[in-house]
């Protein structure tokens, strides 16, 4: 396996996007949502670029990230992507990429407990905004 520390931010984000979405899908099914259109609609509350940028900003505001985690977020945020944001502005898109990069880093470095801790925090934060 490639040394995750050598991966660029976009490669980390590629992995992080998938990992985060799996956790969110597991959570939604565990809460009793089983209809596909319902699952997709609820999943977007958690996995959209806007939601991920919001969550990352909250993590920064609450000083939740450790030094190395913040550097992997910045690596993803500062990566030059050849694709453009579809439904959001570039700042939100880049912050979202940074969020995914952080998730990818935690997964690839096998920091499962920390990954799950942050994802549980994200789920709680999103659900608080629904209330």
Cα dihedral 80/83/84/88 (nearest 10): -90
Give the chain's end-to-end CA distance (angstroms, integer). Answer: 43
Q: What is the DSSP letter of 32?
A: T
Pick the catalytic residue from 3, 17, 26, 61.
17
114-126 burial, b if ≥16 CB within 10 A, otherwise e? Answer: ebeebbeebbebb
- Specify whether 17 is catalytic: yes
- Active site members: 17
């Amino acid at each position: 396996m490639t040394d995750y520390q050598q991966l660029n931010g976009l490669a980390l984000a590629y992995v992080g996007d998938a990992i985060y979405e799996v956790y969110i899908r597991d959570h939604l099914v565990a809460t009793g949502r089983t209809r596909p259109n319902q699952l997709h609609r609820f999943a977007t509350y958690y996995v959209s670029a806007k939601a991920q940028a919001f969550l990352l900003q909250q993590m920064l505001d609450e000083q939740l990230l450790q030094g190395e985690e913040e550097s992997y977020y910045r690596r993803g945020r500062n990566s030059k992507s050849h694709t453009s944001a579809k439904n959001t502005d570039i700042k939100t898109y880049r912050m979202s990429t940074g969020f995914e990069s952080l998730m990818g880093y935690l997964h690839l470095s096998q920091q499962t407990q920390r990954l799950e801790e942050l994802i549980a925090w994200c789920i709680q934060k999103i659900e608080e905004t629904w209330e």
